[in-house]
Amino acid sequence: MPNIKGIFAASITPLQRDYTPDLEALPIYLDFLAHRGCHGALLLGTTGEGPSFSPDQRVAIFRSAAEIRQEWPDFKLLAGTGTPSLDETIQLTRSAFDCGLDGVVVLPPYYFRDSADSGLLSWFSEVIDRSVPEGGHFFVYHIPGMSRIPISINLLSNLLEKAPNKFSGLKDSSGDSEFAARLGEKFGEDLSVFTGNDRLISTALNNHASGCITALANLISPDLKSIWDAHSQHESTEMIQTRVDHVRNIADKFAPFPPLIKFLLNHSFEFPYWPVCPPLEDLSPASANQVSRLIDLA
């Protein structure tokens, strides 16, 4: 299969004032990410507020995003399609591939949080068997802070054994550097691992990771791309990583990220001030004023 690797933005979703997706704005926004060095984008992940949208809205977003290929044919598109419903996840995953996207990033079924690895293996296997075409890329989304479901090395090994031509890897948003090292030690480059934490991109790359999928790639992708390029050329990433860490440390104080990023895209890059979908809320005026002083993206 063609390899997927590099710097991916966990893209925001532009919204209109009634909280419906701004489908005309999305390809324009993805063009911005491509110009700033991103190799691709993840649609409808956590930063993209994926669980807030209906299946029909998600499919419309897939179609809109695919328009970026007219200008950037090599720009990779992944989609978050995981829901607690097996059937809905299968339908969304099929739709993502039908719209021409390159792969999907799938949450575990996060309602039944005490499921054994054997149950999770059955669930993921059903999704892969019934919705991923030959040549499609299926990634597990490991974000235990949100899903409350940790993904084990054993589960990943069993998935790789069952579906070696469709199961490509995972987005690891655990923020656990030891887990990143264990992934590299166990799988090497047999599994495509994308770190979801900007602070860990150098560590992850040193442990055979394929790149990153992060919220801050919406804002600081040139620095993340510089880390990618330096690592590829066996050069030190320490200075750039320190700069990235500084921004991430500030951003973490204003989580969740969707309202923060949408504010900074407006403040620093003159995009419309897109709202976030409830229950998320826009930054308060006090927080916005503080962020604008602490994070300089000029």
| pLDDT above 80: residue 1 | no
Residue pLDDT, tens place only, 185-208: 999 989 999 999 999 999 999 999
Ranges 35-44, 108-117, 133-142, 190-199: which has the least confidence: 108-117
- Residue tagged active-site, from 5, 13, 46, 262: 46
pLDDT for 121: 97
pLDDT for 298: 64
Averaged pLDDT, 107-133? 94
> Is residue 253 flagged as an active site residue?
no
Reported confidence tier of residue 297, pLDDT bands at 50, 70, 90: confident
| pLDDT above 50: residue 280 | yes
Quick one: which of 78, 68, 81, 85 has its CA closest to 31?
A: 68
Ranges 39-53, 200-214, 240-254, 284-298: which has the least confidence: 284-298
| pLDDT above 80: residue 170 | yes
What is the percent of the chain with per-residue pLDDT over 90, rounded to a whole number? 94
| pLDDT above 90: residue 17 | yes
Domains of the chain, each with CATH number or no CATH = 6-235 (3.20.20.70)
Q: Answer for the pair 76, 101: CB distance below 8 angstroms, yes or no.
A: no
**Higher-confidence position of 282 and 298:** 282
| pLDDT above 80: residue 107 | yes
* 53 DSSP 8-state letter: S
| pLDDT above 60: residue 2 | no
* 15 DSSP 8-state letter: B
> Is residue 141 flagged as an active site residue?
yes
pLDDT for 101: 97
Averaged pLDDT, 108-125? 93
* Both structure tokens of 290: 């503080």
pLDDT for 189: 87
Q: Answer for the pair 159, 192: CB distance below 8 angstroms, yes or no.
A: no
- Residue tagged active-site, from 5, 76, 166, 171: 171
Averaged pLDDT, 122-145? 95
Residue pLDDT, tens place only, 216-257: 999 999 999 999 999 999 999 999 999 999 999 999 999 999
| pLDDT above 80: residue 271 | yes
- Residue tagged active-site, from 111, 242, 253, 273: 111
Mean of the per-residue pLDDT values of the chain: 95
Averaged pLDDT, 18-35? 98
Q: Which long-range contacts (CB under 8 A, 24 or more apart) does 122-127 make?
A: 123/86, 124/155, 124/159, 124/167, 125/159, 125/162, 125/163, 126/86, 126/90, 127/86, 127/89, 127/90, 127/93
At 58 the three-state DSSP class reads helix
pLDDT for 3: 79
Pairing assessment for the beta strands 103-106 and 192-195 based on DSSP bridges: unpaired
- Residue tagged active-site, from 141, 166, 225, 237: 141
